[in-house]
């Protein structure tokens, strides 16, 4: 029996997620998976799970405020997209995107989520080797509505145990990203128009591409409901159901768009005016209520090119980890230099 | 059933999915074309295609934009559609018929009396009519394992309930908008509940997780409450499995 992480306090909505459950959408099973796959992949890489397959390993995703966890194992190596605050006396603070080896009995929680002053809605904690959780339909991702995956298909509760796959972390020095990624939300998400852009008036298309929308409080892992100019349908708001890709922006009768995220249904009967490109989906996943966002149209070929550039950049980051010699001093400077949020190292978070 | 005379429309859904749209109606001819293409794609195993989702009138082809491109897929899929009919014949030969037991007795069919009143039939006539036809699985969606079955006899076509239920019991056999369905597990729902099946339609730990897939045929067989309870006990003991018949 390897050790586990004990959930002391669960946070607002903490679930195990990997890159998603693929191959079962024809049976109505949503993909689920990390809202921000970039956050998940980078945290995994820093925790020692490597670029390649390991970067998609199941990790803990937390929304708004993270959990408090206690190490119930000889030792474990972790890395997070947020500051890790180890509740020792005095407390130790590990910057985002830096690995740390924790020993039995140590408790830790998380600081403010990165992403400039507006903050990200989601954070990730990766552990070296991942969690010992049996995959359901090939994935550890939690799909709460269907009670599938993760820990009994639900968010964490106090007292839960997250079993560790490794009995002890590898013997090596701690590492961090050479520079933190810029996770600030863009002013505009790039989209490919369609598949049902021809169901909207020209005025609706113009408003969609030229006016800002605000993320409403009705935002969850299924989708972001936006409020903004009313997008009028040219010929009714019901279509015969067709398939839904992650990032599709459907517009129901209210004329207010919904950006469909990880937990979206596999099929649906509202016209979809556009689809967020895959390179910008992680940014969409980081948005939270009150954030303002616009949309810019690109071609499919441009979207694929942007995605290739993003993958090249991520690969470069994951292969270019550097030693974290003296975390308390050097990396603070690096973080400030990288324009990460203030509050990461001054204790304002948590 | 309308013959498919034109090629499909290809509509991008971002850079990771392509809609192959055969039409905009619920129609057996369109459904046959969709399911046929899904089968052709399964056999062809094109590089970069990650999965496909058949719907009433279109096939959504999910792909990895780092491994292929929309342009390339459109060319490959056009070629597959125009290709020989052999695969299609094979797919049709393997159509499966499921006989799904359904109990329509008191307590398990909360909307049966209302459906009978609205349609001007007796409850027994509703049950007889509902069980007489073989239904086609158009698609699986809404929630995991939820099959859209059609087409219902004309006399049983009703709009959805005005007020959806917050909780529909697992196994509920339901009708609305010319379709029948089974709620695989407890979920909200707006269809009329006219019976319940003890047979599990979705099990995330099974491979595949859903009993039904698009293209299957379904016949509901009325069972008395005692039989419903016997099967339910067997299901609880993991001692029950529905097997399909092969339709020639």
Q: Could you give phi then psi for residue A25, rounded to 5 degrees?
A: -70, -25
| CB–CB contact A192 B21 (8 Å) | no
Position B94 scores a pLDDT of 63
First to last CA, chain B: 20
Identify whether residues B64 and B127 lie together within a single domain: no
Interface touch A277/B14, C-beta < 8 Å: yes
Indicate the range of A1-5, A213-217, B5-9 predicted with least confidence. B5-9
> How close A195 comes to chain B (CA, Å)?
5
DSSP type of residue A322: E
Whole-angstrom Cα distance, residue A223 to residue A245?
12
**How many Å apart are CA A107 and CA A209, to the nearest integer?**
47
Which two three-digit tokens encode residue A171?
Answer: 């013997």
Q: What is the mean pLDDT of chain B?
A: 92
Instruction: Name which of A22, A23, A195 to mutate to probe chain B: the one with the most chain B Cβ atoms within 10 A of its Cβ.
Output: A195
Residues of B in contact with A249 (CB under 8 A): none
pLDDT exceeds 80 at position B14: yes
ipTM: 0.92
Among B8, B9, B15, B20, pick the best mutation site for testing chain A contact (most A Cβ within 10 A): B15
Is B53–A248 a contact, with Cβ atoms under 8 angstroms apart?
no
**pLDDT score recorded for residue A118:** 58
Binned at pLDDT 50, 70 and 90, residue B60 comes out as very high
Residue B153 sits in the same domain as residue B198: yes
Across the A:B interface, residue pairs with CB atoms under 8 Å apart total 156
- What's the pLDDT tens digit per position in A279-328? 999 999 999 999 999 999 999 999 999 999 999 999 999 999 999 965 44
Q: What is the CA radius of gyration of chain A?
A: 20
* Tokens coding A54: 């390991």
d(CA B93, CA A195): 33
What is the reported pLDDT for A114?
61
Q: Residue B71: list chain A partners with CB under 8 A.
A: 300-301
Instruction: Give the mean model confidence (pLDDT) for residues A256-265.
Output: 97
Same domain (yes/no): B114, B75: no
In tens, the pLDDT along A17-51 reads: 999 999 999 999 999 999 999 999 999 999 999 86
pLDDT category of residue A348 using cuts at 50, 70 and 90: very low
Question: Residues B209, B127: contact at Cβ < 8 Å?
Answer: no
Say whether both B42 and B72 belong to one domain. Answer: yes
- DSSP letter assigned to residue B248: -
Rounded CA-CA distance A104/A14 in Å is: 22
Chain A interface mutation, best of B8, B10, B14, highest count of A Cβ atoms under 10 Å: B14
Are B64 and B179 in a shared domain? Answer: no
Q: What range defines the domain where residue B82 resides?
A: 9-93
Confidence tier at A144 by pLDDT (50, 70, 90): very high
Cβ–Cβ gap B66/A301 under 8 Å: no
Nearest by CB to residue A267, choosing from B38, B50, B141, is: B141
Phi first, then psi, for residue B43 (nearest 5°) are -70, -40
A303 touches chain B (CB under 8 A): yes
3-state helix, strand, coil in chain A (%, to 5): 20, 30, 50
Inter-chain touch B50–A136, beta carbons under 8 Å: no
Residues in chain B closer than 8 A to A265 (CB atoms):
141-143
Yes or no, beta carbons of B14 and A136 under 8 Å apart? no
Structure tokens at A55: 């970067």
Looking at the predicted structure, is the pLDDT value of residue A349 above 50? no
Three-state DSSP class for A116?
coil
| Rounded CA separation A309/A296 (Å) | 18
Cβ A241–B141 below 8 Å, yes or no?
yes
> Under a CB-based contact definition with an 8 Å cutoff, are residues A198 and A273 in contact?
no
pLDDT in tens, A84-110: 999 988 999 999 999 999 999 999 999
Q: Report pLDDT for B85.
A: 57
Tell me, what's the pLDDT at B234?
97
How close does chain A come to B199, measured CA to CA in Å? 17
Same domain, B216 and B102: yes
* Kind and range of the H or E run holding A313: helix A300-319
Kindly list the structural domains of chain A, giving each domain's residue range(s) and its CATH number in brackets, ordered by start.
4-177+322-337 (no CATH), 188-304 (2.40.100.10)
Q: Is B3 domain-assigned?
A: no
Are the beta carbons of A260 and A244 closer than 8 angstroms?
A: yes
Chain A residues within 8 A of B55 when measuring between CB atoms: 240-243, 267
Tell whether B1 is covered by a domain. Answer: no
Binned at pLDDT 50, 70 and 90, residue A346 comes out as: very low
Check whether B128 has a pLDDT greater than 60: yes
pLDDT at site B82? 86
pLDDT over 80 at B11, yes or no = yes
How many Å lie between the alpha carbon of A323 and the closest alpha carbon of chain B? 31
A242 touches chain B (CB under 8 A): yes
Do B181 and B58 have their domain in common? Answer: no
Angle at A102 between CA A84 and CA A177, to 5 degrees: 50
Q: What is the pLDDT of residues B22-50, one digit of tens each?
A: 999 999 999 999 999 999 999 999 999 99
- CA dist B26 and B58 (Å) reads 10
CB-CB: which of B13, B59, B140 is closest to A28? Answer: B140
A:12-51 residues touching chain B, CB 8 A cutoff:
22-30
Verify whether the Cβ–Cβ distance A240 to B60 is below 8 Å: no
Q: Is the pLDDT of residue B122 over 90?
A: yes
Helices B70-82 and A300-319, axial angle in degrees (round to 10): 120
Please tell me whether residues B87 and B182 are part of one structural domain: no
Judge if B110 and B199 occupy the same domain.
yes
Instruction: Indicate the residue of B57, B71, B204 with minimum beta-carbon distance to A148.
Output: B204
Residue A218, classified by CB atoms within 10 Å of its CB into exposed (0-12), middle (13-18) or buried (19+), is middle
Q: Mean per-residue pLDDT for B70-98?
A: 79
Residue B2: inside a domain: no
Helix (H) or strand (E) holding A214: strand A213-219
Same domain, B105 and B196: yes
Same-domain pairing of B83 and B171: no
How many structural domains is chain B composed of?
A: 2
Q: Is the pLDDT of residue B233 over 70?
A: yes
CATH of the domain at B213: 2.40.100.10
Cβ-based contacts of B50 with chain A (< 8 Å): 22-23
Of B52, B58, B66, the CB nearest to A307: B66
Residue B232 lies in a domain: yes
CB crowding A298-327: b at 16 or more within 10 Å, else e:
bebeebbebbeebeeebeebbeebeebeeb
- Give the domain CATH number at B71: 3.30.1360.40
Phi-psi region of A290 (alpha: psi -120 to 50; beta: other; left: phi over 0): left
Nearest residue, CB atoms, A25 vs list B51, B66, B69: B51
A1 pLDDT tier (thresholds 50, 70, 90):
low
* B4 domain residue, yes or no: no
Whether B81 and B104 share a structural domain: no
């Amino acid at each position: 029996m390897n050790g586990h992480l004990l959930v002391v306090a669960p946070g607002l909505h903490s679930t195990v997620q990997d890159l998603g459950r693929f191959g079962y959408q024809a049976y109505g099973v949503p993909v689920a998976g990390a809202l921000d796959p970039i956050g998940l992949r980078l945290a995994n890489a820093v925790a020692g799970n490597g670029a390649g397959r390991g970067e998609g390993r199941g990790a803990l995703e937390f929304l708004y405020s993270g959990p408090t966890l206690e190490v119930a194992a000889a030792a474990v190596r972790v890395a997070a997209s947020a500051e890790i605050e180890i509740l020792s006396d005095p407390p130790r603070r590990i910057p985002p995107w830096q690995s740390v080896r924790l020993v039995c009995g140590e408790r830790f929680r998380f600081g403010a989520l990165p992403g400039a002053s507006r903050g990200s809605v989601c954070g990730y904690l990766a552990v070296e080797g991942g969690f010992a959780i049996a995959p359901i339909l090939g994935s550890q991702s939690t799909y709460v509505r269907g009670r599938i995956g993760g820990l009994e298909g639900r968010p964490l509760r106090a007292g839960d145990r997250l079993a560790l796959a490794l009995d002890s972390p590898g013997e090596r020095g701690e590492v961090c990203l050479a520079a933190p990624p810029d996770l600030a939300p863009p002013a505009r998400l790039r989209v490919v128009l369609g598949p049902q852009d021809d169901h909207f008036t020209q005025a609706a298309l113009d408003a969609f591409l030229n006016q800002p929308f605000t993320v409403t409080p009705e935002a969850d892992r299924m989708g972001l409901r936006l409020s903004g100019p009313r997008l009028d349908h040219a010929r009714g708001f019901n279509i015969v159901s067709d398939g839904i890709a992650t990032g599709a922006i459907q517009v129901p009768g209210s004329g207010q768009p919904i950006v469909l995220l990880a937990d979206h249904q596999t099929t649906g009967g509202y016209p979809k005016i556009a689809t967020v490109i895959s390179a910008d989906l992680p940014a969409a996943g980081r948005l939270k209520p009150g954030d303002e966002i616009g949309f810019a149209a690109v071609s499919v070929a441009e979207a694929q090119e942007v995605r290739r550039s993003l993958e090249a950049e991520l690969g470069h980051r994951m292969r270019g980890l550097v030693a974290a010699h003296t975390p308390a001093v050097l990396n603070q400077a690096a973080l400030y230099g990288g324009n990460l949020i203030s509050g990461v190292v001054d204790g304002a978070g948590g | 059933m309308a013959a498919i005379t034109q090629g499909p429309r290809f509509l991008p859904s971002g850079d990771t999915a392509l809609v192959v749209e055969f039409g905009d109606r619920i129609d057996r001819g369109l459904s046959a074309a969709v399911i046929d293409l899904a089968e052709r794609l399964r056999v062809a195993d094109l590089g970069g295609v990650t999965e496909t989702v058949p719907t009433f009138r279109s096939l959504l082809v999910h792909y990895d934009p780092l491994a292929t491109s929309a342009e390339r897929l459109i060319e490959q899929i056009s070629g597959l559609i125009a290709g020989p009919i052999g695969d299609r014949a094979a797919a049709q030969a393997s159509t499966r018929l499921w006989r799904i037991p359904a109990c329509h007795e008191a307590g398990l069919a909360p909307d049966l009396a209302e459906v009978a009143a609205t349609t001007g039939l007796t409850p027994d006539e509703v049950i007889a009519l509902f069980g007489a036809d073989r239904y086609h699985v158009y698609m699986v969606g809404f929630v995991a394992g939820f099959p859209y079955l059609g087409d219902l006899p004309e006399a049983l076509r009703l709009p959805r309930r005005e007020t959806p239920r917050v909780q529909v019991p697992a196994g509920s056999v339901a009708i609305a908008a010319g379709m029948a369905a089974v709620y695989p597990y407890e979920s909200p729902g707006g269809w009329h509940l006219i019976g319940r099946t003890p047979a599990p339609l979705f099990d995330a730990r099974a491979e595949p997780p859903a009993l039904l897939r698009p293209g299957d045929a379904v016949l509901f067989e009325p069972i008395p409450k005692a039989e419903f309870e016997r099967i339910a006990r067997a299901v609880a003991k993991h001692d029950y499995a529905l097997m399909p018949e092969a339709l020639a």
